[in-house]
Amino acid sequence: MSFIRGAAGKAAFGGVLTACALIFSYVEHMVPVSIGFPGVKLGIANVVIIVALYAVGAKCAFAVNVIRIFIAAMLFSGMFGMLFGLAGGLLSLFTMTLLKRAGIFSVVGVSIAGGVAHNIGQLLAAAAFIANFAVAYYLPVLLLSGALTGALVGALSHAALSRLPGAPRQ
């Protein structure tokens, strides 16, 4: 990006992105949107992760995501929140990075896949935690909610990226 110069510029931009993601996590924690299914959230902090992925790359997005998950867990959700957040967040970022590199998906498409992967990661963590894969009955709800919230997050991410000077347009 044209306005980010050198390692110090990337680090500063990464810090700003981390702060923004943490603010979005806080807002989402304080204003829960309940649609009748436990664990389903909008995931608006993922807008920042997608902006980081497209604007500065996967390494920065990884750092922002992990730092946000750790700090948000310390502030809002505790150890279990951190474990589930890491399971979902890392699988989601891995999936989005691969699809972005493929170059055949839009930002919205990448985000939808990330939302679905996030929910699958959390479901796998839950299955491992309770040592029972019976939680898989919840998979259809999580797939649908991941796709819907991923589409919303993707649209917001696309809008944010379109306003950054020198950001890739896709």
pLDDT attached to residue 122: 85
From residue 35, how far is each of 24, 40, 104 by CA, in Å? 19, 7, 32
Q: Is residue 74 part of a domain?
A: yes
Q: Which residues contact 62 (CB under 8 A, 6 or more apart)?
A: 93
Report d(CA 42, CA 33) in Å as an integer.
Answer: 8
List, in sequence order, the alpha helices (H) in 35-75.
46-55, 58-72
Q: Is residue 24 part of a domain?
A: yes
Q: Which residues contact 12 (CB under 8 A, 6 or more apart)?
A: none
pLDDT beneath 70, residues of the chain: 1-5, 32-40, 166-170
Q: Is residue 152 part of a domain?
A: yes
Q: Is residue 169 part of a domain?
A: no
pLDDT attached to residue 47: 95
Q: Is residue 151 part of a domain?
A: yes
**What is the radius of gyration, based on Cα positions, of the chain?**
16
pLDDT attached to residue 36: 61
Supply the CATH number for residue 64's domain. 1.10.1760.20
Report d(CA 147, CA 109) in Å as an integer.
Answer: 9
pLDDT attached to residue 61: 93
pLDDT attached to residue 67: 94
Q: Is residue 134 part of a domain?
A: yes
Residue written as token pair 């020198």: 166
57-66 per-position pLDDT tens digit? 899 999 999 9
What does pTM read for this prediction? 0.86
Q: Is residue 167 part of a domain?
A: no
Indicate the DSSP class of residue 138. Answer: G
Q: Is residue 133 part of a domain?
A: yes
| Helix, strand or coil, per DSSP, at residue 74 | helix
Could you give the number of structural domains in the chain? Answer: 1
> What residue numbers bound the domain in which 100 lies?
6-162
